[in-house]
Amino acid sequence: MTRRACLAAAASALLAVTAAAPASAQAPLAGADWPQFRGTPTLTGVTSATVPATLKVKWTFEAGDAVESSAAIAGGVVYVGSQKGELLALDLATGKPRWRYKTVEGIGESSPAVSTALGLVFVGDLSGTVHAVRVANGQAAWTFKTKGEVKSSPVVVADKVVIGSYDGSLYGLDAKSGTPAWSVHTENYVHGTPAIVDGVAYFAGCDEVFRSIRVSDGKDLGDLPVGAYTGASVAVANGKAYFGTFENEVLAVDLKARKVVWRYQPKERQFPFYSSAAIADGKVILGGRDKVVHAIDAASGKAVWTFATKARVESSAAVAGSRVYIGSNDGRFYVLDLATGKPVWEYESGSPMTTSPAIANGAVVIGTTDGTIICFGA
């Protein structure tokens, strides 16, 4: 695949190896909140929240344009962006809006990140602007302008907001002021969200390089060429990073050994992986543009199970208990058994779901490309 093809593929999706100690596994997110894309800075998509065995639609909200931004949930509030150019704060219990914040342009795939300590929610928009908004009233605290679209989601660690841009840079911004502490330039778009473990940010992008950057000062701790363009975000667990590529593979990188330890490629149908991985029960779970949800053994890279949908799967799975929650471009939301991949329940929305589920307080929230935000619960 050429670099030009990678850029086109990344645009159409809108419709690091270190010498430091190995990253450690992180316990599942506590059930009360899902404060950022994939739940925690490790981006593993796992929560300890209890989800009702039987789901129903609790409420829906019409955002007025496509929702490609995955929701964050914190303090009983759902935060989600839309292509209308709004960051919405919705009551988790009722779906009623608390406030709307207007962005410069539409919000694409950048998903909000909430810092309850600072009382701020962060998100990027397609003008390249990163916004910090006060959770209390929806008023701007600060903005920072990059030189390209922002589809990466912010990650808040200590006093920094770390986020990528289509100007080819990863930025470390002061969370209180928006002042750039550092930036690291790559050779192509930084589309995915960085995973952050033990003070190091791991990400891969369209320059075919897996990178590790120290969050405190932006120092490059080591790069690994992986031979493939990457639109997905990296998930990190037990000293390994997992991510899919546009070369139709899923990779596992050993962070201490600085090498790719396995590559998974389906034999039947070979299509890019755009979905980001969930890591649970020794499995790497992610969707493919081959219309299939794949569960891969995290140790060996061998297939454990697959589940076929009727369209591309660009939604990233969330895991709670023994179940996997994921959307598909076929307009359906699926609940699968984690051990076997067998379907437990599904809901047809009638519109593609490219966003990823957020799970908190017994509720599951996901958006659709027709602008509907859906909350499932008891």
Contact between 36 and 155 under an 8 Å Cβ cutoff? The reply is yes
Percentage of residues in the chain having pLDDT higher than 90 = 90
Rounded Cα distance, 64 and 305, in Å? 37
The per-residue DSSP string of 154-208 comes to: PEEETTEEEEE-TTSEEEEEETTT--EEEEEE-SS---SPPEEETTEEEEE-TTS
Which tokens in the block code for residue 128? 């390249």
Beta bridge partners of 333: 327, 347
**How much is the pLDDT for 30?**
58
Instruction: Give the tokens for residue 77.
Output: 């509030």
Cβ atoms of 373 and 89 closer than 8 Å = no
Query: What is the pLDDT at residue 29?
Result: 65
User: Which amino acid type is present at position 304?
Assistant: V
Instruction: Say if CB 69 and CB 109 are below 8 A apart.
Output: yes
Report the alpha-carbon distance of residue 43 to residue 45 in Å, rounded. 6
Cα–Cα dist 140/320, whole Å:
34
CA–CA dist 36, 123 (Å, integer): 10
Instruction: Report the pLDDT value the prediction gives residue 32, as an integer from 0 to 100.
Output: 82
- Specify the DSSP element, H or E, that contains 376: strand 372-377
**Token pair recorded at residue 59:** 């409420």
In this predicted structure, what is the pLDDT of residue 269?
A: 84
- Please state the pTM of the whole predicted model: 0.92
| DSSP per position, 268-296 | S------SPPEEETTEEEEE-TTSEEEEE
Report pLDDT digits (tens) over 308-361.
999 999 999 999 999 999 999 999 999 999 999 999 999 999 999 999 999 999
Q: Which two three-digit tokens encode residue 290?
A: 């081959």
Tell me how far apart the alpha carbons of residues 70 and 72 are, in angstroms, rounded to a whole number.
7
Which positions of the chain have pLDDT values less than 50? 1-26
Instruction: Report helix, strand or coil for 105.
Output: coil
